[in-house]
Amino acid sequence: MDALDAFFGTEIGTLQLLLRIGLACLFGALLGLEREIRDRPAGLRTFMLVSLAACLFTIIALEVSFLVETAEDQSSIRPDPLRIVEAVTAGVAFIAAGAIIRHSGRLEGLTTGAGMWLAGAIGLACGAGFIGIAALVTLLALVIMVLFKWVERYLPVTDDDES
């Protein structure tokens, strides 16, 4: 691993780097697969890319923080890794909003947009090393997206115009 450690040159280490990136892709794929099966516009690749990008932004933010902490003159530089969370959240929200359309008087794509936003959060969690939380949230998201879709089929439909 010495050659890989030198190549990547990260403070978190090559094994952690590969684990975080790989799991961000896997968890994003699990959410995207559900959307792909339902033939939604944003599917497998989109969710994987959103989660991977969020993971990368998080890793970069952590690495920059490590670099700044080791700098001799810390008086003028104050790292704030939470800014990356804000930036990723805003960027993913912008992409997710593009999945939402109005069609025949109904909004469509809300679940896809929310899922993309969640994939971004899962990528952030993987990048920060919170793998257990990312796995749990991925599992819960799949339960929500699959099980509750089945539950929705059996709920009574009401017309909003009558109420």
Can you say whether the dihedral through the CA atoms of 34, 39, 44, 50 is positive or negative? negative
CB 55 within 8 A of CB 127: yes
Q: Is residue 73 part of a domain?
A: yes
**Cα 150 to Cα 163: distance, rounded to the nearest angstrom:** 25
The domain tally of the chain equals 1
Encoded amino acid at 9, one letter: G
32 vs 61, higher pLDDT: 32
CB 20 within 8 A of CB 55: yes
Q: Is residue 78 part of a domain?
A: yes
Q: Is the pLDDT confidence value at 31 over 80?
A: yes
Q: Is residue 30 part of a domain?
A: yes
Summarised one tens digit per residue, pLDDT across range 88-128 is 888 888 888 888 887 787 778 888 888 888 999 899 889 88
What is the per-residue pLDDT for 162?
Answer: 45
Summarised one tens digit per residue, pLDDT across range 59-74 is 888 887 777 666 655 5
1 vs 98, higher pLDDT: 98
Q: Is residue 10 part of a domain?
A: yes
| Structure tokens that stand for 130 in this block | 């919170």
Q: Is residue 111 part of a domain?
A: yes
CA angle (34 as vertex; 30, 38 as ends), nearest 5? 160
Q: Is residue 162 part of a domain?
A: no
**Cα 21 to Cα 34: distance, rounded to the nearest angstrom:** 21
| Residue numbers of the domain that contains 143 | 2-154
Q: Is residue 67 part of a domain?
A: yes
Q: Is residue 141 part of a domain?
A: yes
**Cα 48 to Cα 45: distance, rounded to the nearest angstrom:** 5
In this structure, the chain runs to a length of: 163
